[in-house]
């Protein structure tokens, strides 16, 4: 007896089969998983397709480790299907729509793109997951990207929708006709549960998802269509209503300076708008407990950063900076905040006044 998701897949593929394109060749799901000697990123796709066509009920998926020790989550098939359907509906992706996968399928972002293709009978191009993607020379309806991939993207006509995830999104201009969105989600939610446009700050719920705040200001997610009754995140949020919110930063990344909570991501985004790549990390202080330190990758941006910082509230303004050319990262291009905090602590002899 088929499960509901398997029956949905059977109906969709009867109407218009899912197609995977790799090395300029087209494959059905069965043909793809039968391929031998494939590259590592295609082998990852094969594993997800095999799971989807099997009777297995749970898909194991590791977290990135950006906020702690990586964990393995076992996602129910129904949650994956509902998440895929919600995305397909939200972005109007009909059977036959063209999508590109440039993310590793052993992470939730890549795995969900494979499942969307299977549920929605899409045409999915498989390209090597690297920072500078080799995009197919064709019109693209949908492509999920990490922020580093977005920043290195060679734009071409015909890219309709870009979905960003993985870290704080930059403010950037895009070619006319291309819409760029930022997703809010985590491994536990099987992809995004809210979306915002690149040039906006307010996230809006996807599907039946609704939001509230915990006593300490953390965002709480309730998503009936995903089977999530209550998920307390570690994100400090400003709630506009039960389906709209803005993120202020992660609670565990907040810098407590003399009782004032400073959210690094919030101020880093202010600098990013002005073209300054910066991070803000805590440093232990005998008087204030912690103080914020500015990390820059370019000496030439110090003067510009100093001018901008003079407009910030004094009790949230970094007074010192460090230069670091290569920043520590975890999977998906996310900044390794614990790594950079440890680096600041061990390189206090390099601190310079702003």
The token pair that represents 17 in the structure block = 């089969």
Q: Does 6 or 304 have the greater pLDDT score?
A: 304
On the question of a common fold for 4-249 and 254-353, the answer reads no
Residues 209 and 217 sit within 8 Å (Cβ to Cβ)? no
Q: How far apart are CA 205 and CA 68, in angstroms?
A: 26
pLDDT tens by residue, 201-248? 899 999 899 999 998 889 999 999 898 999 999 888 999 999 999 988
Fold of 254-353: GMP Synthetase; Chain A, domain 3 (3.30.300)
Residues 62 and 51 sit within 8 Å (Cβ to Cβ)? no
pLDDT at residue 14 tops 50: no
pLDDT tens by residue, 160-185? 999 987 555 555 667 788 999 999 98
**pTM for the model:** 0.74
pLDDT of residue 72: 80
- Architecture field, domain 4-249: 3-Layer(aba) Sandwich (3.40)
Q: How far apart are CA 6 and CA 28, in angstroms?
A: 16
Percent of the chain with pLDDT over 90: 51
> Within its chain, how far is the Cα of 353 from the centroid?
34
pLDDT tens by residue, 86-125? 999 999 999 999 999 999 998 889 999 999 999 999 999 9
Domain segments of the chain: what residues?
4-249, 254-353
Q: How far apart are CA 72 and CA 188, in angstroms?
A: 10
């Amino acid at each position: 007896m088929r499960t509901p998701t398997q029956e949905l897949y059977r109906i969709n593929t009867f109407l218009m089969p899912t197609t995977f394109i790799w090395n300029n060749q087209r494959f059905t799901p069965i043909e793809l998983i039968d391929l031998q000697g494939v590259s590592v990123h295609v082998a990852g796709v094969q594993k997800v397709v095999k799971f989807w066509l099997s009777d297995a009920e749970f898909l194991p998926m590791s977290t990135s480790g950006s906020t702690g020790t990586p964990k393995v989550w076992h996602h129910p098939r129904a949650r994956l299907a509902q998440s895929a359907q919600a995305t397909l509906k939200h972005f109007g992706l009909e059977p036959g729509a063209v999508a590109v996968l440039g993310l590793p399928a052993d992470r939730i972002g890549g795995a969900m793109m494979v499942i969307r293709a299977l549920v929605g009978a899409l045409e999915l191009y498989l390209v090597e997951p690297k920072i500078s993607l080799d995009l197919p020379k064709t019109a693209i309806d949908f492509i999920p990207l990490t922020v580093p991939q977005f920043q290195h993207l060679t734009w071409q006509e015909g890219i309709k929708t870009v979905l960003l995830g993985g870290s704080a999104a930059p403010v950037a201009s895009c070619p006319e006709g291309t819409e760029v969105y930022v997703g809010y989600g985590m491994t536990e939610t099987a992809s995004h549960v809210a979306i915002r446009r690149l040039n906006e700050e307010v996230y809006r719920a996807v599907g039946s998802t609704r939001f509230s705040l915990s006593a300490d200001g953390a965002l709480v997610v309730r998503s009936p269509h995903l089977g999530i009754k209550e998920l307390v995140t570690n994100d400090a949020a400003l709630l506009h209503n039960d389906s709209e919110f803005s993120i202020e930063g992660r609670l565990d990344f907040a810098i407590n300076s003399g009782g004032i909570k400073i959210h690094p991501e919030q101020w880093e985004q202010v600098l990013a708008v002005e073209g300054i790549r910066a991070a803000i990390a805590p440093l232990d202080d005998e008087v204030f407990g912690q103080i914020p330190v500015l990390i820059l990758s370019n000496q030439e941006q110090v003067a510009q950063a100093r001018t901008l910082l003079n407009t910030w509230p004094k009790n949230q303004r970094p007074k010192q900076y460090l230069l670091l050319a290569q920043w520590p990262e975890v999977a998906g291009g996310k900044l390794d905040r614990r790594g950079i905090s440890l680096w600041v602590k061990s390189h206090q002899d390099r601190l310079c006044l702003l």
